């Protein structure tokens, strides 16, 4: 399994942490701490994921992440991009 450094892009670039990426057929991406073992925490998640590009430098994906609830109690979402830089093993 590949390991990455996750850098969220909005509202400004921020290093989020190291871990593993999982993208399901349902369009949900989850970024797990470490090796994504059975007890690994989900550090970040997005829905309606789209792979923008993939290269030797890493992967850029976009999607919608949760952003609280509105007055009617409905889940709100905001646009986000993840830059996943390959973690070089030492």
Residue 65 burial by Cβ neighbours in a 10 Å radius (0-12, 13-18, 19+): middle
Q: What pTM was computed for the model? A: 0.86
Asked whether the beta carbons of 81 and 49 are under 8 A apart, the reply is no
Report residue 33 CA to chain centroid gap.
11
Question: What pLDDT is attached to residue 11?
Answer: 92
pLDDT in tens, 41-78: 999 999 999 999 999 889 999 999 999 999 999 999 99
pLDDT in tens, 6-50: 999 999 999 988 999 999 999 999 999 887 777 889 999 999 999
């Amino acid at each position: 399994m590949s390991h990455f450094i996750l850098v969220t892009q909005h509202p400004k670039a921020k290093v989020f942490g190291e871990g593993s990426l999982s993208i399901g057929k349902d369009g949900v991406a989850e970024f797990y701490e470490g090796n994504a073992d059975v007890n690994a925490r989900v550090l970040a998640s997005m829905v309606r994921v789209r792979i923008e590009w993939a290269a030797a430098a890493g992967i850029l994906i976009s999607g919608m992440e949760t952003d609280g609830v509105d007055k009617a109690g409905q889940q709100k979402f905001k646009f986000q991009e993840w830059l996943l830089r390959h973690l070089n093993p030492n």
